[in-house]
A = this chain, B = another copy of it.
Amino acid sequence: MASELASGAVTSIGRVPDHTRLPDESVGGSVPILNRFKIVSLLREGEQLTSGCSDTETKIKIATALSDFGIEYIELTSPAASEQSRKDCEAICKLGLQSKILTRVRSSMEEAKLACDTGVAGVEVVVSTSTEEFSNGKDMADIKKTALEVIAYIKSRGVEAIFSTEEGFRDLVDLRDLYRTVDQAGVTRVRVADTLGCATPRQVHDLVSTLRGSVSCEIETHFHNDNMCAIANAHAALEAGATHIDTSVLGIGQRNGITALGAFLARMIVEDRDYVTSTYKLPQLQALEELVAEHAQISVPFNNPVTGFSAFSHKAGIHSKAVLKSPSTYEIIDPADFGVTRNVHFASRLTGWNAIKGRAEQLGLAMTDDQIKELTQKIKTMADTRQLSVDDADSIIRSYHLELQA
């Protein structure tokens, strides 16, 4: 840890990652592929939001925007959910998008056929394995037999088969055996889900590491955000050897959602800026989020990573000073990578003279440091008596500068 901190620490805990080294062997020894992940965007989770029941036209608009953005996979609601869902699958497959289109079905031949007929590139087969039998009373041998038949059928149609479990495992032995079996049967990918949103990053790392040691296929992970760990969990999964991360725009999904696309990219750009900026059209993120927010009838949260109005705002004097001198002191992400701008807020009692100096320079007004310091004191005193707008502060700066000329 000492040498890690020495290599690039800029804060007492965090550091800019150094991927020239392999990870610490004590945490698994696997080589992380933090710069080779693929993103699955779940349009189907969008429908889960109470307000987010989207019509075909909206789905097409969003799918097209996701594809343009560079998302590798788009997963749609099961064609077995309703006749309209089936038609939507067909319509979106026919668009010929760059993104591969996926859908999901229960482990049934009938549903698998329905899915393959829509023209999707991949079908996820979801089985219920919980011995608590909330949703499915079959035992493990039956589950395995049916799943293998369905997988063989999907493969025979020239479609990628993805194997997934909806609920729980009472015993990791069951998990490994089942996943090994479908891996040997030639699935493209297995998928594990934290459906409850209760897993911690360490639990995720342990489980995905174990799975990574058991199967040779790709590993997709799905994290609900009930305990607000969905981003940290996605990162931990990649460190442990996962290859695909399920996301949705703004994290929209059942309850308080899943790994949010923008937040996930904000996390990953810190790991490998070159990979993230060259793979995804980041300046389109804001428009993509606004498109989805509009149709889901929600607002982009004030604190949304990157695009929330406060994401790149700076207010306190000590922070503003450092940000103006060297943005990397207080920003791990360059807002320009996402086509958004930094906002150093200076019209408050917490302002510092460096922020005022920066603003005066933006306004083209030259003053000495001593003059700026006196001006700053004036602004802080004013801000104590009432809330100042940027226009107010600019007026004070301009009038002070004018007095100096007189």
Q: Is A156 an interface residue (CB 8 A)?
A: no
Q: Are B82 and A199 in contact (CB under 8 A)?
A: no
Best-surrounded residue of A12, A84, A207, A381 (most CB of chain B within 10 A): A12
Q: Are A16 and B82 in contact (CB under 8 A)?
A: no
Q: Indicate which residue in B77, B134, B198 contacts A322 across the interface (CB closer than 8 Å).
A: B134
Mask: chain A, 249-263; 1 = CB below 8 Å from B; 0 = not: 011101111001001
Q: Is A173 an interface residue (CB 8 A)?
A: yes
Residues from chain B with a CB closer than 8 A to the CB of A229 are: 231-232, 235, 267
Q: Which of A19-64 contact B (CB under 8 A)?
A: 26-27, 47-50, 53
Min CB gap A111→B, angstroms? 13
Residues from chain B with a CB closer than 8 A to the CB of A83 are: 381, 384
Min CB gap A86→B, angstroms? 10
Residues from chain B with a CB closer than 8 A to the CB of A406 are: none
Q: Are A303 and B266 in contact (CB under 8 A)?
A: no
Q: Indicate which residue in B4, B13, B329, B343 contacts A192 across the interface (CB closer than 8 Å).
A: B13
Q: Is A9 an interface residue (CB 8 A)?
A: yes
Q: Are A14 and B194 in contact (CB under 8 A)?
A: yes
Q: Are A165 and B12 in contact (CB under 8 A)?
A: yes
Best-surrounded residue of A132, A254, A310, A349 (most CB of chain B within 10 A): A310
Residues from chain B with a CB closer than 8 A to the CB of A348 are: 47, 53
| Interface residues in A, total, Cβ within 8 A | 121
Q: Is A100 an interface residue (CB 8 A)?
A: no
Q: Indicate which residue in B171, B299, B384 contacts A5 across the interface (CB closer than 8 Å).
A: B171
Residues from chain B with a CB closer than 8 A to the CB of A12 are: 165, 167-169, 175, 192-195, 207
Q: Which of A215-249 contact B (CB under 8 A)?
A: 221, 223, 225-233, 235-236, 239
Q: Are B311 and A256 in contact (CB under 8 A)?
A: yes
A171–B10 alpha-carbon span in the complex (Å): 10
- Residue on B with the closest CB to A345? B50
Q: Are B81 and A317 in contact (CB under 8 A)?
A: yes
- Residue on B with the closest CB to A234? B228
A-B contact pairs, 6 of them (CB 8 A): A81-B350, A202-B236, A227-B270, A228-B263, A254-B319, A301-B303
